Amino acid sequence: MGHNVRAVFFDAGYTLLCMEPDQRTNFLRSCADLGVFVDESRLDEAVSRADVLFGLRDFGDRPVPFSRQAIDDFWIRYHRVLLATCAIDPASESRAESVYRRFLARLGWRVYAEVPALLSQLRSRGVALGVISNWTGDLSDVLRGVELQEQFDVVLDSALFGFEKPRAEIFREAVRRAGVPPHHTLHVGDSPEHDVEGALAFGMQAALLDRDDRFPGYARAPRLRRLDEILTLL
């Protein structure tokens, strides 16, 4: 890496912004609101099991049409796994949709503290900025709500585009919109498989944001603990 980076793309969730309240707190409060009792000692296990659903998915070579129902069905399934693992009453698994809807109603987002200053610095250097995210169709609305939307030249929400990371199609569309060749771009995200490997396979530069030191041995790309550490790579 060096001074050849002319565009920087970011993942959204847990890169630019995170849930507010956090997932664990929101889930527990949503369950409490509905009278669903949870064994908190099993919640970490439940999240680990449910997160398997975020694994790499191959829908073929045609874009997947946007479907609010399909997105809801995924998250209901996710909450069913959570409840099947940590709900005290096994019958609570059947209340997954109600818990998900309550979770969604409570859900907010906050921007990581270093993000606004970082984006300003990159913009002052003439670097094009973009977001490439496996999201649920409302990414632009979320970014607008946290006052980030206008910072970006490109925003790609996988649910609307039809292809998810790490598919080449979504990275190709991002660099096309930015008007910058892949080898002059840097993509940063918190997933080795979706963000780093996908970007590298397409010919982009990449960095892994590892805020919680989950991937200490990862060496395929620079590993960052804060997002503004990318300035050392430019």
Q: Domain containing 205 — which CATH number?
A: 3.40.50.1000
Q: Count Cβ atoms within 10 A of the Cβ of residue 48 and give its class: 0-12 exposed, 13-18 middle, 19 or more buried.
A: exposed
Between 188 and 2, whose confidence is greater? Answer: 188
Mean pLDDT value across residues 23-32: 98
Structural domain range at position 90: 21-108
Answer yes or no: do 143 and 197 share one domain.
yes
Q: Which of 81, 108, 135 lies at the terminal end of a domain, its last residue?
A: 108
Encode burial over 11-42: b for 16+ CB neighbours within 10 A, e otherwise: bbbebbbbbeeeeeebbbebbeeeebebeeee
Using the 8-state DSSP alphabet, how is residue 113 labeled? T
Measured CA to CA, the distance from residue 19 to residue 87 in angstroms comes to 22
| 34-72 residue pLDDT tens | 999 999 999 999 999 999 999 888 888 899 999 999 999
Q: Cis peptide before 21, with omega less than 30 degrees from 0? A: yes
Please, are residues 101 and 76 in contact by the beta-carbon 8 Å criterion? no
Please tell me whether residues 140 and 206 are part of one structural domain.
Answer: yes
Final residue before a domain boundary, out of 85, 108, 131: 108
Structural domains in the chain (count): 2
139-179 residue pLDDT tens: 999 999 999 999 999 999 999 999 999 999 999 999 999 99
Last residue of a domain, one of 68, 83, 108: 108
Contact 133, 111 (CB under 8 A): no
**How many secondary structure helices (H) and strands (E) does the chain include?**
9, 8
Give per-residue burial for 192-228: e unless 16+ CB within 10 Å, then b: bebbbbbbbebebbbbbbeeeeeeeeeeebbbbeebb
pLDDT of 37: 98
Helical H segments across the chain, by residue range: 23-33, 43-51, 68-86, 96-106, 115-124, 139-145, 158-161, 168-178, 198-202
Q: In the prediction, which pLDDT does 60 show?
A: 84
**Domain-located, residue 1:** no
Q: Peptide bond preceding 63: is omega within 30 degrees of 0, i.e. cis?
A: no
58 inside domain: yes
pLDDT at 3 over 80: no
